Chains A and B, each alone.
Chain A
């Protein structure tokens, strides 16, 4: 820091010659003139560094001690300006730079959003843009509390928003609460009906009256659990009906047919090894491409890199890398092993999809046949899957309560 201040005010390296150099130093000390880098260079010769301000205080000391002072080097900002006083464009540039810095630092250049999980950053940025909060907006026009209110209003699942400015950054800290999911009316009475037909293998009923048992066969649309409870009295007569939300885990085993056929002849695209690389530069809608046009038998891969000033401030300028690869189309035929492997791969993919859906596969009866022209996989999969769709309960008229007089 001291060096920087010395550079700002300017300093000189001087050679002091004479017989009373020690006296010169002591007089400097007594007058409060600090000396830096004091070096003895020879008999009656010392070099020292003085700031410009202190250098001009040396005259009376010099005449008192009769030493000779010679300036060897000049350093610092005042000398720099003096040396470059003819370079007007340079100073204009410095001035322009300062002006630009002042101008640019009074604007928002980075809108940073943190804490958001359910609402994506681009989505919130788009909303802010629609509200006039964009990159490059003057800081004086930014009202943090208003932004926080706007975001909270727009996104009800956001429970807390804090908007603050740090330098040229606008930081939005968000806390999201639990999504106010449309709470299913758990109390709403309903039945459970089968959405697939098959044999019931497992059934756990939590509420409602099960109409079928494990081992029974059901068809699509059959009622499995009734959401109506008949309240009976001691005489086994229905006193009233109560309706509940039927709830049960019902697993049904059924057959799922599978068929997949593909021809053995196919067109393969084999790369020839010829590869060309190119670039392009995009400014808005205007594009400057530095790659040749290729004929049909070329595959083109494009990677685009947009220029970003800050994390979310993308300029309409982008740079792209184009890789073109030549290929030739050849007619080919799968061998039996290849065709079988391909058919099996396809079947495994299908099974994987079923497992992801929560379906258990208990038996696989798919056979792969290969004839002269095609490979056919056909058969059935025995699967166990959960069933039970909520359907509305037919509301029955409540039975008329019999009194003692009726009896």
Chain B
């Protein structure tokens, strides 16, 4: 199994395929402290004004802050706005 994974990783790096396409890794784009955009996510696990927990294919992304809102929530991306204090990534 590990061998197969390594082979795939080698192929991806050799072909220079972006990881978000090859592994559907989540992309988190932060603009200042007020806005973050998450792409390649699966679902929302928890949503409160202080914390948003998003499940991705390879783990969880937790956004902490104050007055967090989601101005745009579409199948492709999720925009988070508010006073963001931290973003944590948990690998599964």
Contact = CB atoms under 8 A, between A and B. Distances in A.
Interface of A: 21-22, 25-26, 28-30, 32, 34-40, 46, 48
Contacts of A32: 75
A12 B71 CA distance: 15
A38 B73 contact: yes
Interface in B41-84: 43-49, 68-75
Given A36-B73, A38-B70, 6 more contacts: A29-B75, A30-B75, A34-B73, A40-B68, A40-B69, A48-B73
A35 B72 CA distance: 6
Nearest to A24: B44
Chain B contact patch, size range:
10 to 19
B70 A35 contact: yes
Contact of A46 (B45, B47, B74): B47
Interface centre among A22, A30, A34, A40 (most CB of B within 10 A): A40
B73 A40 contact: no
Given A29-B75, A32-B75, A22 B70 contact: no
A217 B46 CA distance: 117
Nearest to A43: B48
A40 B48 contact: yes
Contact of A37 (B45, B47, B71): B71
Contacts, number: 47
Contacts of A40: 47-49, 68-69
Contacts of A34: 72-75
B74 A39 contact: no
Given A40-B48, A40-B68, A26 B73 contact: no
A21 B75 contact: no
A401 to B, nearest CB: 104
A38 B46 contact: no
B47 A21 contact: yes
A269 B75 CA distance: 87
Nearest to B48: A40
B45 A29 contact: no
Contacts of A26: 43-44
Contacts of B71: 36-38
Contacts of B44: 22, 25-26
B34 to A, nearest CB: 15
Contacts of A22: 43-47
Contacts of B43: 22, 25-26, 29
**What 6 A-B pairs are tightest by C-beta distance, nearest first?**
A38-B70, A26-B43, A35-B73, A34-B74, A40-B49, A39-B69
B69 A38 contact: yes
Contacts of B69: 37-40
A339 to B, nearest CB: 83
Nearest to B52: A40
Contacts of A30: 75
Contacts of A39: 69-70
A284 B43 CA distance: 74
A254 to B, nearest CB: 89
13 contacts: A22-B47, A26-B43, A29-B43, A29-B75, A34-B72, A34-B73, A34-B75, A36-B71, A36-B72, A37-B70, A38-B71, A39-B69, A40-B49
Contacts of B68: 40
Contacts of B75: 29-30, 32, 34
A221 to B, nearest CB: 95
A235 B73 CA distance: 117
Contacts of B73: 25, 28-29, 34-36, 38, 48
A46 B73 CA distance: 13
Contacts of B72: 34-36
B68 to A, nearest CB: 7
